[in-house]
Structure 1
Amino acid sequence: MSGSLEVRQFLLRYEGDGGSGSASGGVPAQRSGNADAPRISDDQVRRARLAVAQGANGVEDCAELLDMLGLTPDEDGRLPVQR
């Protein structure tokens, strides 16, 4: 994607997909860091992986992006993004 218009369109496309806590204008609300804050669901992880795969420039790029975003399992088999 190039430019902020495409980024805004991407974010707005997923606004109504069951994501929690969207603020005005389709911008997600900041997480509070509370222990009782909702965790990222398996469906959200699946959709994030698909989005990364579609935007990646190749296999190595995809693997690096997934790792940076916490979407690859650690040694215990847990996803860092879901801790």
Structure 2
Amino acid sequence: MFAQLWVQLLRENHWKHNTHLLSNWEQLNRAKNYISHHINREIILDDLSSIANINKYYLCRLFKNAFGMTPIQYHVAIRLEKAKQMA
């Protein structure tokens, strides 16, 4: 799990320093923050794309490029990590 988090941090750093991709960073951050703050709720991709204000398919592609997983996979990973901490 540490390696996956490390790769995620490297990708985030890459995106933050790439001016072409930086324009989408705010939208991705909104989606990521929503997921992080709604761990115990079901995440619906249509709702998430509305929050990010971009098409759901484009959101999935951007999210995967930035974080190495889709928004739903990220939600599951966050939930699993929280469950591990509670155990």
Is TM > 0.5 for Structure 1 vs Structure 2?
Answer: no
Q: Which has the higher contact order (CA 8 A, sep 6+)?
A: 2
Bigger fraction of residues in helix: 2
TM-score by length of 2: 0.29
Structure of higher CA gyration radius: 1
TM-score (structure 1 length as normaliser): 0.30
